[in-house]
Homo-oligomer: A and B are copies of this chain.
Amino acid sequence: MDAIKGLLPNVRSKAPLVHFLTNYVTVNDCANITLACGGSPIMADEKSEVEQISSLCAAVVINIGTVNVRTLSAMLQAGRYANDCGIPIILDPAGAGASDFRNDAVSRLLREVNFTAIKGNISEVKFLSNGIMSTQGVDASTEDLVCEETLYDTLVFSRQLSVMTGSVIMITGPIDIVADSQRGYAIRNGHPMMARVSGTGCMSGAVAGCFLGANPSCALESMVVSTAAMGLCGELAYEKKTMLDAGVSTYRNLMIDAMDKLTEDVLAERAKIQRIF
């Protein structure tokens, strides 16, 4: 996939400012991995300023992890504005399916905002498409995880959802999927321990925001490469964690450290990106 070349260097050279309307659980990790990746984060969710903040930014990331009535209103405002200005915008429907409020929030966001990309685990993304599913917290139900057996079906589903929404679809899991209406990819980077750290998914969205902000004309490629980059950081961190005989909290830091040190060469060498259709 030659199209991936240069995307990470673009993040480093352009240092895209990324506007986050996100949850208060993992917001610090999102800020720090954005910096580690080469971007610059700004968090703002006061409705009366989100338009101006978005206007300064190369990308907007909306994550509904701890959304409430006030912040939903700000998200809608920022989203519509980003659309008007042509600023790339990502939706992370964290915990979609867990409550009517969250479901309505996602529905409204999808109705009023055109997202450049939507990223979530299979439960969350499936909810978006059919509104009928079981969601346990913000983790994916294990029966649904994307693996070799379900890969093809998930890609077909992602393509359909991309046609419906106009968004690039990214589904995180043991295998990560990225697809639009024309092309579908499987990314086989990552490590199971990533699921044991709060905010891995949110950080993945942050990294995607940096890539998208720095490479706005390559939305699909940005999602593919940022997914591979995040997964690779999970692998590199696991290698170092084993060496240090450390646990999950140190592992979280090592993932961000790995993003800080990630080079285009290592990414090109170790990214496991396969085009499926």
- A interface, CB within 8 angstroms of B: 17, 23-29, 31-32, 34-36, 40-46, 48-49, 52-53, 56, 65-70, 95, 98-102, 136-139, 196-199, 246-250, 252-261
Contacts and interface: CB of A to CB of B under 8 A. Distances in A.
B43 A67 contact: no
Nearest to A51: B99
A58 to B, nearest CB: 11
A42 B98 contact: yes
Given A46-B67, A137-B17, A36 B249 contact: yes
Contacts of A253: 249-250, 252-253
Number of copies: 3
A40 B136 contact: yes
Contact of A28 (B17, B26, B49, B257): B26
A69 to B, nearest CB: 6
A250 to B, nearest CB: 5
B136 A17 contact: yes
Nearest to A100: B52
A70 B53 CA distance: 19
A197 B32 contact: yes
Contact of A46 (B46, B49, B68): B68
Contact of A41 (B53, B198, B246, B254): B198
A102 B49 CA distance: 8
A59 to B, nearest CB: 12
28 contacts: A25-B27, A25-B28, A25-B31, A25-B43, A31-B198, A32-B198, A32-B248, A32-B252, A35-B196, A36-B248, A40-B136, A40-B137, A44-B66, A48-B101, A49-B98, A49-B100, A52-B99, A56-B137, A68-B70, A196-B260, A247-B254, A247-B256, A247-B260, A248-B256, A249-B253, A249-B255, A249-B256, A250-B253
